[in-house]
Amino acid sequence: MLHDPLTGLPGHALLLDRLEQSLIRARTRGTLVTLVLVTAPDSVLDAARSLRSGLRPDFTVARFHEKVLAVVAEHDFGDGSPIASLVRQLVGDSPRVHWVTSDGNAEPDDLIATAAQH
């Protein structure tokens, strides 16, 4: 599904495509990609709205699973901790937030699996 009918956000398939494109740009431009997975504590719709309005417009906010949202952020340096902190702040209510940063030398599925484990 390209777009999630509840939130209007990109769905799982579009998330994978955008993540793959971000990883390619990271490899070719020497930048970084951070993937943040957040399990919405209450309303996925409220969390989606908060993330979409509170994050940079070039970040991808997608619905990964039923109660899990994903954020794909491209950046020039550092790790993903400031992005993960901002996500946590925007969603509130102590969500479970997992994140990983890559220089582009990873496959989308591997990056998702790594983020889910952290």
- Residue 101's domain is classified under what CATH number? 3.30.70.270
Q: Look at residue 75 and tell me if it is in a domain.
A: yes
- pLDDT category of residue 95 using cuts at 50, 70 and 90: confident
- Spatial neighbors of 76 by CB under 8 A, at least 6 apart, are 31, 32
What percentage of the chain has pLDDT greater than the value 90? 80
Q: Look at residue 70 and tell me if it is in a domain.
A: yes
The number of distinct structural domains making up the chain is: 1
Q: Look at residue 116 and tell me if it is in a domain.
A: no
Q: Look at residue 48 and tell me if it is in a domain.
A: yes
- pLDDT category of residue 118 using cuts at 50, 70 and 90: confident
| Per-residue pLDDT, 1 | 63
Q: Look at residue 21 and tell me if it is in a domain.
A: yes
Return d(Cα 104, Cα 30) in angstroms, integer: 8
Tokens 């954020």 belong to which residue? 71
Strand partners, 90: none
Question: By mean pLDDT, which of 50-64, 79-93, 97-111 is the weakest?
Answer: 79-93
Q: Look at residue 111 and tell me if it is in a domain.
A: no
Closest CA to 87 of 44, 33, 37: 37
Domain holding 21, by residue range, is: 12-105
